[in-house]
Amino acid sequence: SAVISQKPSRDICQRGTSLTIQCQVDSQVTMMFWYRQQPGQSLTLIATANQGSEATYESGFVIDKFPISRPNLTFSTLTVSNMSPEDSSIYLCSLGTSGVQETQYFGPGTRLLVL
Amino acid sequence: SQKIEQNSEALNIQEGKTATLTCNYTNYSPAYLQWYRQDPGRGPVFLLLIRENEKEKRKERLKVTFDTTLKQSLFHITASQPADSATYLCAVTGGGNKLTFGTGTQLKVEL
């Protein structure tokens, strides 16, 4: 199975700043996704990262706040822009076998704290 | 509205016993249901998938049942071990074919 890594693993940021999270996979994958897991909450899908085109965002998430890049089949980035304490969360990238409804394989996550 | 409910209270059991976790869903008609394990500071790890036409699925010490009439799945770990301590998440396909996760139940297996 594919090995998924994320950078950074954790960070503490000041409000108003932005953080870019990287997700690297050791093999080419078609479907990559970004999730958020707020404290005590379940995972919420932010967007599907589409290779070579704009990401597809879920309701409640917008490109200006969470810009996503997917330059190739092994790499994606998620930026959390103009951060506020409400953005404190774990951010996870995942791979899907063939669609967002299919089994997901998750990276280790990035734990973000915004002060 | 669509809901997935898992017991938010931690489940504490003794080593060697069978742990049973519950996942209830409302306003879904999922084609399948999945269970994941999540350890602190780690991403969820896929465990089992069960389809709507399957009543039961087994993998080593794990067993999942799926009752589409009751809208419920039960997740069993037999001969539980301290290493089984983790949070277990269920997930169903919802509207728009998205995978929607429950909040998880924390399992603690004590010696």
What are the chain B neighbours of A43 within 8 Å (beta carbons)? 44, 89, 101
Give the model's pLDDT for residue A39. Answer: 86
pLDDT at site B3: 84
- Segments in chain B forming alpha helices (H): none
Per-residue pLDDT, averaged over B17-45, amounts to 91
pLDDT for A100: 55
CATH number for the region B3-110 comes to 2.60.40.10
Encoding tokens for residue A46?
Answer: 């932010």
Inter-chain residue contact B34 with A42, CB threshold 8 Å: no
Shortest CA distance from A9: residue in chain B: B41
Q: Is the pLDDT of residue B30 over 90?
A: no
Task: Please list the pLDDT of chain A residue by residue as tens digits (115 residues).
Answer: 789 999 999 999 999 999 999 999 999 988 899 999 998 888 999 999 988 888 999 999 999 999 999 999 999 999 999 999 999 999 999 998 666 567 889 999 999 999 9
A–B CB contacts, 8 A cutoff, strictly below: 48
- Looking at the DSSP bridge assignments, the partners of residue B23 are B6, B73
The dihedral through the CA atoms of B15, B74, A102, A54 has a sign that is: negative
The pLDDT > 90 percentage for chain B reads 72
Interface test with B, best of A103, A105, A110, A113 (most B CBs within 10 A): A103
The predicted pLDDT at position A63 comes to 96
B19 DSSP 8-state letter: E
Residue A105: list chain B partners with CB under 8 A.
Answer: 46
What is residue B7's predicted lDDT score, i.e. its pLDDT? 86
User: Does A106 sit within 8 Å of B45, measured CB to CB?
Assistant: yes
Q: What is the pLDDT of residue B81?
A: 97
Q: Which of A43, A88, A93, A41 is nearest to A68 (CA)?
A: A93
The alpha-carbon gap from B30 to the nearest alpha carbon of chain A, in Å, equals 10
Q: Do B99 and A107 touch (CB under 8 A)?
A: no
As a whole number, mean pLDDT of residues B54-59 equals: 94
Q: Measure B12 CA to nearest chain A CA, in Å.
A: 19
Give the count of beta carbons closer than 10 Å to the beta carbon of residue B4.
24
- Model pLDDT for residues B62-104, shown as the tens digit of each residue: 999 999 999 999 999 999 999 999 999 999 876 556 788 999 9
Query: Above 60 in pLDDT, residue B22?
Result: yes
Q: Does A109 touch chain B (CB under 8 A)?
A: yes
